[in-house]
Amino acid sequence: MSQQHPVRSTGSPPPRPDASMSLLTNVMEHSLDEGYAEATARRRAEGGGLPRPLRAKLGLAAGLVLAALVVTVGAAEARISAPVLAKEREELIDRVDAETADADALERDVEKLRDEVGERQRRALNAPGGDQEQLVSLLAGATEVTGPGLRLVVDDGKGTEQAGGGGPRESSGFSDTGRVRDRDMQRVVNGLWESGAEAVAINGQRLTALSAIRAAGDAILVDNRPLVPPYTVLAVGDGKKLDAAFRDSADGRYLQVLKENFGIRFSVSVKESVRLPAAPSLIVRTAEPRTASAGKGAGQGTADTGKGTS
């Protein structure tokens, strides 16, 4: 009998002799061209075959070209519209100059007519007719006045902006500004009238029975003409008596309170001679007798003269 050898079965084939060299085997079996081909295909799928730096540069170049185009178009439009705008501007300047010249001419005409009217009024008031006409002329401010009197200078407190007065005493921030107000000057002038002044002027502006002291913003106006501090008040009268009467009056004490509480500065001096100019413009009104039917006797009337400042 022949002897049979047993057959041995295994679960897996034996390993290859070159199993430890799989990396070299892979390099040898697969060419590098395949990797380049895969990278090229991937770039094409992502961006149309252009690398990212190149795409960024192309985008920047396109943006610069678009910006240059916008600037060029804008500059062209500006060059086209510049002559039109310049012409319109010149026309507006010419119109403003023409209107300003017309306004100046009208202002000169008004001043000339005002001077003529004032001169005629003064001549009419100075016509011979007795002491009564001279008194009316004096009270109306038609003639300049020279004589003994008083000089009163009122100024804002130290450290305040020299912008003039204005507004009521109760306005906010007055305690910080210390400015002279229009109401203060009204009281000063009325106090001088009541103390015996025969004629009064502020900064060369003659006051009459119809004069008004008002405020426009931060400026004090006398008959619509602005004044600049310090305010120099000249009053014609018996200087010593006028000084004593004004200091003892309520308005004189009011001025002293302004000095103590708000720093308003003022000085009073008696002068042997002061000169007050005539009023620049006069408003003449006549008195008419009342009729007997009104219960008043004939010859009675109302005169529109008197002292005081509103």
Tens place of pLDDT per residue across the chain (310 aa): 445 555 455 556 666 665 555 666 665 665 555 666 677 677 666 655 556 677 677 778 888 888 888 888 777 777 777 677 777 888 898 899 999 999 999 988 988 887 787 777 667 666 665 555 556 666 666 677 889 999 999 998 887 654 444 444 444 444 446 889 999 999 999 999 999 998 899 998 888 878 889 988 888 998 888 888 899 999 999 989 999 999 999 999 999 999 988 889 999 999 999 998 887 766 656 667 776 544 444 333 333 333 444 4
Q: How many domains does the chain have?
A: 2
Q: What is the DSSP letter of 209?
A: T
Instruction: Tell me whether residue 292 is in a domain.
Output: no
Q: In this structure, are 182 and 247 located in the same domain?
A: yes
In a domain, 85, yes or no: yes
Tokens read off for 76: 């062209």
Give the structural domain span for 101.
Answer: 48-125
Residue 9 Rama label (left phi>0; alpha psi -120 to 50; beta): beta
Same domain, 257 and 197: yes
Same-domain status, 84 and 120: yes
* Residue 6: inside a domain: no
Amino acid 123 reads R
Same domain, 228 and 159: yes
Q: Are residues 99 and 151 in the same domain?
A: no
Domain for residue 30, yes or no?
A: no
Do residues 180 and 255 share a domain? yes
Q: Is there a domain that residue 300 lies in?
A: no
Cβ distance 156 to 262 under 8 Å?
A: no
Q: Which two tokens stand for residue 40?
A: 């090229």
Query: Do 193 and 155 lie in a common domain?
Result: yes
Asked if residue 266 belongs to a domain, the reply is: yes
Q: Tell me: do 97 and 197 sit in the same domain.
A: no
